[in-house]
Amino acid sequence: MRRDDMIPELRDVAVWPSVNIDVLDAAELARFRTRERALRAYLGGASMAYCAREHGVTRQELYRLLARCLSGHPDGRIWGFRALLAQQRVRGYQRRAPVATSGGQGGAAGALSQLFTQYPTIQEHIDALYLRRKKHRAVHEPRITRQSIHRQFLHLCRDVGIPETAWPFYAEEQGRRSLGDYLRALDQRHMVESVRAAAARQLGTGDPSTRDPVLRPYQRVQFDGHRVDAFFTIEMPSPLGGTVEQVLERFWLLALYDVATDNILGYAVSLSPEYSAQDVLRCMENALRPWTPRTLTIPNLKYPDGGGLPSGLFPECAWACWDELSYDNAMANRAHLVRQRLTEGVGCAIIAGPPATPERRGALERFFGILEEHGFHRTPNTVGSHPKDPRRRDPEAAAERWHITYDEFLQLMDVMVARWNSAPHEGIGFRTPLEALQHYLEQPANWLRTVPVHAREPGHLARLTLTRRVSGNPRQGRRPYITYEHVRYHNPVLSRTPGLIGKTLTLTVNPADIRNIRAALPDGSDLGILTAHGVWGRTPHSLEVRRAIFRLRRRRELFWSQADDPIDVYLTYLSTKGQKHKRARNRWKKTHEAAARAAPDEAVEASALSEPATRNAEPPTTPPSPIVVQPTGLKALVY
């Protein structure tokens, strides 16, 4: 390196990284000063002869020192005067001799750097994998491990033609240790990219202690799902007539938990193999909607005195909204529909954490654990906590033998949640969650946000908004209509307004019941309710059911005539297939549940759509049930 080849910015030694000479001994300080003065003189314009005569540094040594000082340091700067210190390695070891192609051990120092020099594409690919660089439109694993990178490294070596007798294949660890050292060096050289990649691999595992403290109810709630550790049965139609008892596939329990008071605000059951975005929103709606006790048919099973869910016991908690929602990054939770409806419909912030880290939602995981240990793990139909659990004794046969049905599970689940909310908890001073919530509500100037009255109709939180173009041709006798999910929709106003043909309508769909959808004109004016044509507008069914029906029809597994009801044909198909497959039984039961929820409920009182009571309002004529402390504690969850 000559001084004429240097850029002007680097010739100013004042900006070079310096050295603290106070820590150097006398011999090292003298050596450093000699080199430093020689370089300063040379960069200041002195000749080589002057530097050699006055400072004793030869031409070759001066060029070598200058090149060392201008080398790049791992901290992103040049080495500067730091390169003049003794025993400073400014460059890594560069192997020159070829690596032996034998199976002997040792003698392969610097083999990885030599391989990268010969095959730079391998190094580029490894760097892109580890630093998650968006090169060549590559799609990276969300949490790639160093073991996976090592496997990719071996594949790349084979692709470029490195024989199996050469390094790294013949080495004992096949270059795993050398590659690990290289990846750790990448962390130092590319700190910004490394931190960004590590954050992506960790999926946001931030410290929860850095959040704001929880001081009041409904400030922060947690959501999670848990697969129930037991089998249950249902009655299904038999192809030979009558009904037959069949075992369901294990299903999911979804719950919403209030961090401040330990209350379970709401829950839902999903019969799908994996719970969906609609199941998440249904759980949220159950937490908002006022709770009502179930009709219990199990002998000696009853609700605890004063127990239940807050939305049904306290008028202030009916349709009450929360401020923050914490959940993991499961696929259903990350759905755009879930985030949009929670931020717009509930008005809450979302704190998404990584999956498979229960410590982030430890309180809710504790609820699931106690629910199993003091509940379903005590029943003969339990699968236990692991495959070798001694409590697991042919749970499917036990469910059939003792006729432990899914409807009984729903009753038992509702009572256990009511007991959880009415049992004393150590974390809140041995008060019950309902007592802690009641204490807050009795304080002056405490209030909870509630959902507006117009947004309290069933399915409002999970609604879909989309557009469809109006079709029709009066000359051919086709009145105006729109098509949604393979079915035509219309109403009297649309049918007699041919001027709307070609216009785009905005539709609001309740996925739980798509017999009727609400339509609006392009200017926002309400067009009314559009009804599905034919039997599609009479039999309650969900969006999921209709899509499943037409998916089976495309596969030529389901057929129906114009006189048939496709919903009945689909249920018959599921009941026949369910004689051998558990998943079909779950779908059959789920379809019946969706139809039951979609059917109009004549028993719903008008008070359910009214504003909840406020502090200044007159007290209700029938006060809520008193909160009674259960002396049996948490272990009395099941009778």
Q: Domain with 236 in it: what CATH number?
A: 3.30.420.10
- Residue 434 located in a structural domain: yes
What are the DSSP calls for 76-101, one per residue? SSB-GGGGGSTT---S-----SPPP-
Contacts of 458 (CB under 8 A, 6+ apart): 285, 510, 512, 597
Please tell me whether residues 580 and 619 are part of one structural domain: no
Instruction: Record the tokens describing residue 561, joined without a space.
Output: 């005539």
Same domain, 286 and 394: yes
State the virtual CA torsion across 126, 128, 132, 134 in degrees, nearest 10. Answer: -160
598 falls within a domain: no
pTM of the predicted structure, to 2 decimals: 0.62
Residues 359, 245, single domain; the answer is yes
Do residues 205 and 198 lie in contact, with contact meaning Cβ atoms separated by under 8 Å? no
Q: CB 299: neighbour CB atoms within 10 A?
A: 7
Indicate the residue among 571, 586, 601 that finishes a domain: 586
In a domain? residue 592: no
What range does the domain containing 330 cover? 215-456+615-636
3-state secondary structure of 578: coil
604 assigned to some structural domain? no
Residues 176, 198: Cα–Cα separation, whole Å: 20
Average pLDDT, integer, range 128-136: 71
**CB 503, CB 469: distance < 8 Å:** yes
In a domain, 26, yes or no: yes
At 503-556, the pLDDT tens digits run 999 999 999 999 999 999 987 888 999 999 998 998 899 999 999 999 999 999
Task: Let me know whether 68 and 166 are in one domain.
Answer: no
Question: Which of the two residues, 302 and 359, has the higher pLDDT score?
Answer: 302
On average, the pLDDT of the chain sits at 82
- Count of structural domains within the chain: 4
Shared domain for 452 and 468, answered yes or no, is no
393 and 354, same structural domain? yes
Do 401 and 262 share a structural domain? Answer: yes
The string of pLDDT tens digits covering residues 89-122 is 777 666 777 776 655 556 677 788 888 888 888 8
Do 314 and 422 lie in one domain? The reply is yes
Q: Are residues 247 and 279 in the same domain?
A: yes
Which of helix, strand or coil describes residue 473? strand
Q: CA–CA separation, 227 vs 254, rounded Å?
A: 9
- pLDDT value, residue 212: 63
Does the pLDDT at position 46 exceed 70?
A: yes
> Does any domain span residue 94?
no
Cβ–Cβ under 8 Å, residues 432 and 421:
yes
**Cβ contacts of residue 616 below 8 Å, gap of 6+?**
none
Do residues 260 and 311 both lie within one domain?
A: yes
For the sheet containing 471-473, what is the strand order?
A: 464-469, 504-509, 516-520, 526-532, 487-490, 478-484, 471-473
Question: Model confidence over 140-174: pLDDT tens digits?
Answer: 565 677 888 888 889 989 988 888 888 888 787 88
Is 605 contained in some domain? no
| Last residue within a domain, chosen from 202, 237, 266 | 202
End-to-end CA distance of the chain: 86
User: From CA 319, how far away is CA 323, in angstroms rounded?
Assistant: 13
> Using one digit for the tens of pLDDT, what is the confidence trace for 251-262?
999 999 999 999
The share of the chain scoring above pLDDT 70, in percent, equals: 84
Average pLDDT over residues 340-346: 89
State the pLDDT at residue 321: 95
In a domain, 596, yes or no: no
Indicate if the pLDDT at residue 632 is higher than 60: no
Domain match, 422 and 485 both = no
One domain for residues 53 and 175: no
